[in-house]
Structure 1
Amino acid sequence: MNLNLLFENLTNPALLFFILGIVAVYLKSDLEIPPNSSKFISLYLLFSIGFKGGQELSHESFSFEIMWSIVFGLMVALLIPLYTFFILKQKLNIYDAGAIAAAYGSVSAVTFVTAVAYLESVQLVLHGHMVAIMALMESPAIIAGLVLISYFDKDNETQIKKSNALKHSLTNGSVLLIIGSLVIGFLASDKQAQGIKPFTDDIFKGFLAIFLLDMGIVSGRKLNTLLSNGWFPFVFAILVPLFNGSLIGLLSGAITDDVSSRFIFAILAASASYIAVPAAMKITVPKANPGLFLPMALAVTFPVNITIGFPIYYYVVSTF
């Protein structure tokens, strides 16, 4: 592995702002990003990624490789919840196991956005169809988690409204925005896209740094809640994403030779949703403990991915 690349990633300003947010919490600082500002920045990042992805997609020709990439992404989103559920069920109740399995089968838009910045640092370009695949991978994992909970809930103590969960996973704001921006970017001409390029490109990294500062503050506040649940969730949140990302990064070589796309596949497999899945589980499985699966995804898996995960996945896809 290229240690210089690892060091460069660890000294990336965006990552350091994330660490600063955690430090601020433990120093009991009053540093805080206003909720409305945080929401605006997250919407901006999703809009920018979607629009640029649509522009890239408009220059791509639909091929069997893209078709198989879509199928591969959907299979990953379905299979990860299946195997992780049975691991989790050994130590946790079925409600928490199903919710965590859904979170780790689904994807993190914020991790995806951060990965795009990492691609730029190694002079690689994100392909538009990978943005579409990211959006498509959100729903299958939620559905898989709900089906598993429903099947193993022998006493039928939880009334799971699958139609509500499906609707929420498809109309979730982050999914809707990134798909909508993808379509708009696809339809816009190069000349039209150039007119808003300063907004979609030039200020992207600055907004990403501020957003990760906010994520660091949120993560720091939730870490103690996770640690109070014992060692198993903490270890799971570290090892399983690294395994998923490395394995899918390796297997993606059978679908495409493109290093950029393979890296994104690894990121999608390694990331865990802490926006769409918690919201869906709150509606459909109220017995699932958000104090468990939310900090696992946000306070452990997210920083693990952006610190040591990115260089590992890049090494795997560029070497094998």
Structure 2
Amino acid sequence: MEQIIDIAYSNLLSPMILFFLLGIIAVLVNSDLKVPAAFYSGYTMIILFTIGIKGGIELRSVSLLDMLPTMIAAILLSIAMLFIAYFLVKKFFFHSVPDALGIAAHYGSVSAVTFIAGQAFLEKIAVDYESYMSAILVVMEGPAIILAIILYKMYAQKQGEATNNPNASLGHVFKEAFFGKSIFLLLGGIFIGLVAHTDGLTMIKPLFGDLFYGILCIFLLHMGMIATQSLMKLKNIRPLSFLFAFILPIIGGTLGVITGNFIGLSVGGSMILAILTGSASYIAAPAAIEQAIPKANSGVYLGAALGLTLPFNLILGIPFYYWLATLFG
């Protein structure tokens, strides 16, 4: 226990965490600090592109056969977290079916920022991990979102509900989940990193390499502000009904470590898989769920994923997953 406290304390003092906490404080003290929407779109693109490009470069030396066990495990973990989240939220926290499916879609998907923070943590303590984990991030982004929406459509038909919203069609949902902004940028970055000439990649390194963590810190400052604002907007919600936002990451992280150890990943690789399984989407999932499950309360699933699970993972989850990985490794 002393080891995990020391690791958590060290992680708490990292610039990324401190910027996130500064964003929280800015809202709590009613500061007039604002981040322009155009900036948010811009540095989101840079962050996702950078993850993809780094992953693509690493994939040059990896065969599909090496990745296959992890890819299969990742998809199964994503689907497992969907059903675990739905069961837990519906049966023990008494949320409605639409809310439970909306929440489950977010917790079955993944958080790119938590993934980056985990990578930074491992680099700081000089622990290696499998080079193809960026591709696993992409693999885990969409399946739970699609499955949650299919389950909702089955539920809506059973209840005799119908919708004429073209954005709620399965075709649109598949497009949003697999070719929406986040996945498209990640896949595009992987493709560029995989096929681009080394000289060309060197030319873009100042933006997608040297400046990356500075941009990420500003992004996390903004995320801290949005997370706090999302929670403050919720009305008539019992705090205990949000405990799942802390329980699900622990369940997902533990499953990720056990699975990673079972399929032969390194300690670092098992930790990254735990981070992905224990995180919750707040980029890809909200865009799809808002259109396809309109009865789900966006304040609940976004407030939980962004306002509670993200800071939990950044501050406590990452060191906990590493500590757990060392126990199994």
TM range (shorter): over 0.9
2:25 matched to which residue of 1? 23
Q: Which residue of structure 2 lines up, in the alignment, with residue 107 of structure 1? A: 110
Q: Distance between the aligned counterparts of 2:296 and 2:67, measured in 1?
A: 36
**Contact preservation (8 Å) 1:233, 1:296:** no
Give the direction of change, closer, same or farther, for the CA distance of 1:76–1:305 in structure 2 (3 Å limit).
same
**Residue 69 (structure 1) aligns with:** 70
Residues 127, 197 of structure 1: alpha-carbon distance in 2 compared, 3 angstrom cutoff:
farther
Taking structure 1 as the reference length, the TM-score comes to: 0.94
Q: 1:60-209, aligned counterparts within 5 Å?
A: 60-63=62-65, 65-90=66-91, 91-125=94-128, 127-153=130-156, 154-159=158-163, 161-209=169-217
Question: How far apart in 2 are the matches of 1:19 and 1:212?
Answer: 9
Look up the match of 2:247: 239
Runs of 5+ consecutive residues of structure 1 not aligned to the other structure: none
Partner Cα separation in structure 2 for residue 54 and residue 100 of structure 1: 31
TM-score w.r.t. length of structure 2: 0.92
Tell which deviates more after alignment, 19-28 or 242-251: 242-251
Q: Say whether the 8 Å CA contact 1:106–1:138 is kept in structure 2.
A: yes
CA displacement at 1:128 relative to structure 2: 4.0
Greater shift, 219-228 or 175-184, is seen at: 219-228
Give the 5 Å matches for 1:39-58. 39-58=41-60
Residue 266 of structure 2 is aligned to residue 273 of structure 1: no
State the shift of 1:135 in Å: 0.9
**What amino acid is aligned across from residue 41 of structure 1 in structure 2?**
Y
Q: Distance in 2 between matches of 1:158 and 1:276?
A: 24
Asked if residue 300 in structure 1 is aligned to residue 313 in structure 2, the reply is: no
* Residue identity in the other structure for 1:318: T
Q: Give me the whole-angstrom Cα distance separating, in 2, the residues matched to 1:226 and 1:298.
A: 13
Rate the CA distance shift 1:124–1:202 in 2: closer, same or farther, 3 A.
Answer: farther
Partner Cα distance (1:197, 1:124) in 2:
23
Paired letter, 1:38: Y
Contact 1:102 1:142 in 2 (8 A): yes
The letter for the 2-side match of 1:59 is S
Identity of matched residues, %? 36
Unmatched 5+ residue regions in structure 2?
Answer: none
- C-alpha distance in 2 between matches for 1:270 and 1:221: 23
Does 1:212 find its partner at 2:213? no
Which range moves more in the overlay, 96-105 or 157-166? Answer: 157-166
CA deviation string 1:9-62 (max 9, x = no partner) = 011111011111111101110011111112111111111111011101112233
Query: What residue number does 2:38 align with?
Result: 36
Alignment: residue pair count: 319
Is the 2:73–2:259 contact (alpha carbons within 8 Å) kept by the matching residues of 1? no
In the superposition, relative to structure 1, how do residues 71 and 245 fare at CA in structure 2: closer, same or farther (>3 Å)? same
Contact 1:57–1:127 (8 Å) recurs in 2: no
Give the Cα separation in 2 of the matches to 1:262 and 1:141. Answer: 21
Deviates more, 1:51-60 or 1:185-194: 185-194
CA RMSD of aligned residues (A): 1.7
Deviations 1:73-124 (A, max 9, x none): 1111111111221222220111001100011001112222222222221223
Moved more, 207-216 or 75-84: 75-84
Contact 2:106–2:282 (CA under 8 A) maintained in structure 1: yes
